């Protein structure tokens, strides 16, 4: 079984993005800019946002973090987005999800100008993704998974991919990319979710399984086909008194039993997670290029 090393691929991708950023500076006097907005105090979200800002700085991408209090109003958030939409130094805008319950996330997403929607959450960009129009964006986690499939040269065309979980961030766009007519698409795709009957039987048919349901260890070795490729998107905290922080991170698959049967598998942590952040940087650079009439770097979708 080959471990798919997202940490290493993510670092390579980030280095490539960093090189491109430097060349944009030299040849065009351009610096890509990313605004990251977080509303409220969710500790995990704050950690993710800090990672994003730190990675941007490492790659010489201009980044600004806007931290709004838990009680910020809808108008406060919309007002900030309007300002960022107009700011020429900002090419990408990300509002960390989920916001507090009193904020209407759809309104927020629809206010971000599609050209700066580096998350690919805006219905305009989601529509482009659905119809196979490649001049929009690809959401960061599914994009990162496609790059992993590419860099490990995993055959996707003609195989049965089973996506478990129907979120807008991962599951749904993943089905679109895997079924696309593209070099790393052309799979036959099944989307499973909490109401799927006999879900173990469906997952067992998957040559490629993408697990994105947010349930620790949900997929066990008896539920997968021998030789399958496992992409585990789960990041679940489980209590562990022996760990320094009192918890450890586990995926949506039971690594011990599933790794006995899989041919390739992403670990948690160190699999899909580092790719998401690398793709956010790549999307910010892409946004900067498109907004300035320049050709963005190629991608495998």
Q: Are 207 and 184 in contact (CB under 8 A)?
A: no
* Close Cβ partners of 209 (under 8 Å, ≥ 6 residues apart): 161, 162, 164, 203, 219, 224, 228, 229, 230, 231
Positive or negative, the Cα torsion across 228, 234, 238, 243? positive
Q: Smaller CB distance to ligand GUN: residue 99 or 185?
A: 99
Q: Give, for 38, the enclosing helix (H) or strand (E).
A: strand 33-39
| Closer CB to ligand GUN, 142 or 206, in the complex | 142
Minimum CB distance to ligand GUN, residue 235 (Å): 9
Nearest distance, CB of residue 22 and ligand GUN, angstroms: 25
Give the whole-angstrom CA distance, residue 299 versus residue 121. 19
Give the three-state DSSP class for 155: coil
- Judged by beta carbon, residue 214 or residue 270, the one nearer ligand GUN is 214
Catalytic residues: 52, 96, 119
> Exposed, middle or buried by CB within 10 Å (0-12, 13-18, 19+), for 43?
exposed
Neighbours of 242 (CB within 10 A): 6
What residues have CB less than 8 Å from 149, skipping those under 6 apart? 156, 184, 208, 229, 300
Least separation in angstroms between CB 23 and ligand GUN: 26
To the nearest whole angstrom, how small is the minimum distance from the Cβ of residue 8 to ligand GUN? 21
Return residues touching ligand GUN (CB under 6 A): 94-97, 119, 140-141, 169, 276
Alpha-carbon distance of 129 to 138, in angstroms, equals 7
| Nearest alpha-carbon partner for 61 in 280, 295, 294, 276 | 280
Q: How far is the CB of 138 from ligand GUN (least distance, A)?
A: 12
Write down the least CB distance from residue 104 to ligand GUN, Å.
15
96 vs 206, which CB is nearer to ligand GUN?
A: 96
Kindly tell me which of 45 and 190 has the beta carbon lying closer to ligand GUN: 45
Question: Closest-CB residue for ligand GUN?
Answer: 97
The candidate with the shortest Cα–Cα distance to 138, out of 291, 287, 295, 289, is 287
Q: Which is nearer to ligand GUN, 24 or 277 (CB)?
A: 277
Other CB atoms within 10 Å distance of the CB of residue 260 = 11
């Amino acid at each position: 079984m080959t471990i798919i090393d997202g940490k290493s691929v993510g670092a390579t991708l980030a280095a490539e993005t960093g090189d491109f950023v430097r060349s944009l500076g030299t040849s065009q006097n351009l610096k890509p800019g990313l605004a990251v907005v977080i509303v409220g105090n969710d500790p995990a979200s704050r950690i993710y946002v800090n990672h994003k800002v730190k990675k941007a700085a490492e790659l010489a991408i201009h980044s600004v973090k806007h931290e709004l209090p838990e009680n910020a109003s809808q108008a406060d958030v919309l007002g900030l987005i309007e300002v960022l939409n107009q700011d020429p130094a900002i090419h990408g805008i990300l509002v960390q999800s989920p916001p507090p319950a009193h904020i209407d996330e759809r309104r927020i997403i629809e206010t971000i100008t599609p050209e700066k929607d580096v998350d690919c959450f805006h219905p305009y960009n989601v529509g482009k993704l659905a119809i196979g129009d490649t001049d929009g964006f690809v959401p960061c986690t599914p994009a990162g998974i496609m790059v992993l499939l590419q860099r490990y040269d995993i055959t996707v065309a003609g195989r049965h991919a089973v996506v478990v979980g129907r979120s807008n961030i991962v599951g749904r766009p993943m089905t679109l990319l895997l079924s696309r007519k593209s070099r790393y698409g052309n799979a036959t795709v099944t989307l499973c979710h909490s109401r799927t009957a006999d879900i173990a039987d469906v997952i067992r048919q998957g040559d490629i399984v993408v697990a994105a349901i947010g349930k620790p260890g949900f997929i066990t070795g008896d539920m997968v086909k021998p030789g399958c490729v496992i992409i585990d998107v789960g990041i679940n905290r489980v209590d562990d008194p022996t760990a320094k922080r009192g918890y450890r991170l586990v995926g949506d698959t039971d690594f011990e039993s599933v790794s006995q049967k899989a041919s390739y598998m992403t670990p948690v942590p160190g699999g899909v997670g580092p790719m998401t952040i690398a793709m956010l940087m790549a999307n910010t650079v892409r946004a900067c290029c498109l907004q300035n009439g320049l050709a963005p770097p190629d991608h495998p979708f």
